[in-house]
Structure formats: structure tokens, C-alpha cells
């Protein structure tokens, strides 16, 4: 079976699920795509990306992982959206599925280890490592500083990918990069479930979902100006510089 045929079968399975979930408007747009006889492999790659995104968003909504309101992110910035991926990853079936999807974005032959910054990256990092057949380690904060503890070690020359749940400012990712490089390891890739960095990190990030959310500094936040109460669902403790 050709690669295009396999992609086509996956396409049909996905559209069937869309019908079952009554997402008929999405199904209709996909039907228009299939009726076009001039589709190339590039078109199918784009389609697969779109389907993966729709499937992931559907999972996030069904598990109430996509929240709307007024939030202070772990970076200190404010947003009207918050992705609480821990609610998605509390279900082993979904965690495993998401890890497999992330693993498909990387070449297992070019990876020696997967690192997931705590806390958000631990579960999804593990599931991605499991799908790749590699060891899973994680960094964590001690007195506000990202460190590698618990006997974890990175050998010189090890090729390590960093996996997070959500990347906004990439602070945890950048800190983890420094740790990997301090051991003499090499960064083999960076991935996450949701990339909301708006491509402003100078990092090449592979993700299942890429969005451009509304993000504000506290001084510019329109919700603050309206006096709306704010939630702080993040896990990072703010440490004075």
C-alpha cells in the first residue's frame, strides 16, 4: 500500500469519527478536499496536521482542559485562555495517545533521552519517551532554580528532546536547554502539546496545536482594567530576581 493510500485510509477513519461526534461542518470541508483530484503529498501532510489539531482540540474540550476566563500564566503574563493539560493527562488512555502523536514528530533513531520539565512535562515527557522507546527524565525547581536531581544523568553527546505540555515564553525549556548543555548533551528537538509562543522564542518547536492567543502584560491587560477577577492555575512559584 502506498504512503498516499495509507494517509487516505487515515483520512476516512477520521472523517467517520467526525460524523459520530456530529462535527458535520468539519466533515463537509474535508469532503471538498477529497473531491479535488490534484492533491499532492504536501497537501496530505497539511491535511494530516489539520486533522491532528482538530482531534487534539476536541480532546482538550472534552476533558475541560481548555479554559476561558482571566488567567495569570506561570510566566506572569495574562490571558483569556488557559490550557490545563493535567486534566487531559489524568486519563492514561489520552496521555498515551497524546504521547504517541508527539513521538511521531521526531526520529527515534536520532534521540537518546526525553526530558520533561516539571511539573507539566513529566507525564507527557514519559509517554513520549515510551512511544519512542527511550529513557525519560525530568528537571525540577529547587528554590526557584531549575535543576536535574534524583540521580538523573545526561551523558556527554546524548541527544535529548525536551517535551512540555504548553509552551508560552519557553522559560522552562530554555532553562532545561542550559542543563542539558552543561552535561555536554545535545538538543535533538523541542516539542509540546500546545505551542502558544506566537513564534517569538527563536526555538524550533514541534507541537500538536499551535495557536496565537491573546496574551498581555499585567499593565496592558484589558481584563484587569475592567476589574475582572483573575485566576492563577499555574504551578510555578514566583521567585524574586
Helices (H), the chain: 3-20, 24-35, 41-62, 85-89, 92-103, 120-132, 171-182, 222-225
Determine what percent of the chain is predicted with pLDDT higher than 70. Answer: 77
The CA-atom distances, in angstroms, between 94 and each of 86, 127, 180, 239 are 11, 10, 29, 33
Per-residue confidence (pLDDT) for residue 199, from 0 to 100: 82
Alpha-carbon gap, residue 11 to 31, rounded angstroms: 10
Q: Is the pLDDT of residue 50 over 60?
A: yes
- DSSP per-residue letters across 96-127: HHHHHHHHTTS-GGG-SEEE--TTHHHHHHHH
Predicted local distance difference test score (pLDDT) of residue 238: 46
Q: Residue 82 — very low, low, confident or very high, per pLDDT cuts 50/70/90?
A: confident
Sign of CA dihedral 231, 233, 239, 241: negative
Query: What is the pTM assigned to this prediction?
Result: 0.75
| 7 has pLDDT over 90 | no
Average pLDDT over residues 44-69: 80
Angle, helices 24-35 vs 3-20, to 10°: value is 150
What is the average per-residue pLDDT within 60-78?
A: 87
Contact 167, 196 (CB under 8 A): yes
Q: What is the CATH number of domain 85-214?
A: 3.40.50.2020
Grid coordinates of 100: 504517541
Closest CA to 88 of 232, 17, 193, 163: 193
- Which of 3-7, 97-101, 169-173, 200-204 bottoms out in mean pLDDT, i.e. has the lowest? 3-7
Which pLDDT tens digit goes with each residue over 172-193?
999 999 999 999 999 999 999 9
**Averaged pLDDT of the chain:** 84
Q: Decide: 11 and 51 in contact? Cβ < 8 Å.
A: yes
Amino acid at each position: 500500500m502506498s504512503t498516499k493510500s495509507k494517509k487516505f485510509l487515515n483520512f476516512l477513519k477520521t472523517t467517520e469519527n467526525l460524523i459520530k461526534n456530529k462535527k458535520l461542518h468539519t466533515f463537509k470541508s474535508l469532503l471538498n478536499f477529497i473531491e479535488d483530484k490534484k492533491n499532492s503529498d504536501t497537501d496530505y501532510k497539511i491535511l494530516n496536521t489539520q486533522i491532528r489539531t482538530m482531534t487534539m482540540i476536541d480532546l482538550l474540550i472534552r476533558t475541560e482542559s481548555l479554559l476561558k476566563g482571566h488567567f495569570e500564566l506561570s510566566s506572569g503574563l495574562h490571558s483569556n485562555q488557559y490550557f490545563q493539560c493535567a486534566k487531559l493527562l489524568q486519563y492514561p488512555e489520552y496521555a498515551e495517545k497524546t504521547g504517541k502523536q508527539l513521538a511521531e514528530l521526531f526520529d527515534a533513531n536520532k534521540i537518546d533521552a526525553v526530558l520533561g520539565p516539571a511539573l507539566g512535562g513529566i507525564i507527557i515527557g514519559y509517554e513520549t519517551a515510551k512511544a519512542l522507546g527511550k529513557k525519560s527524565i525530568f528537571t525540577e525547581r529547587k528554590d526557584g532554580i531549575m535543576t536535574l536531581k534524583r540521580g538523573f544523568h545526561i551523558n556527554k553527546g546524548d541527544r535529548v528532546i525536551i517535551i512540555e505540555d504548553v509552551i508560552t515564553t519557553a522559560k522552562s525549556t530554555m532553562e532545561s536547554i542550559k542543563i542539558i548543555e552543561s552535561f555536554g548533551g545535545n538538543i535533538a528537538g523541542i516539542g509540546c502539546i500546545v505551542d502558544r509562543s506566537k513564534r517569538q522564542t527563536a526555538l524550533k518547536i514541534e507541537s500538536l496545536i499551535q495557536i496565537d492567543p491573546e496574551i498581555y502584560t499585567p499593565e496592558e491587560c484589558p481584563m484587569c482594567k475592567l476589574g475582572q477577577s483573575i485566576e492563577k492555575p499555574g504551578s510555578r512559584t514566583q521567585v524574586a530576581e
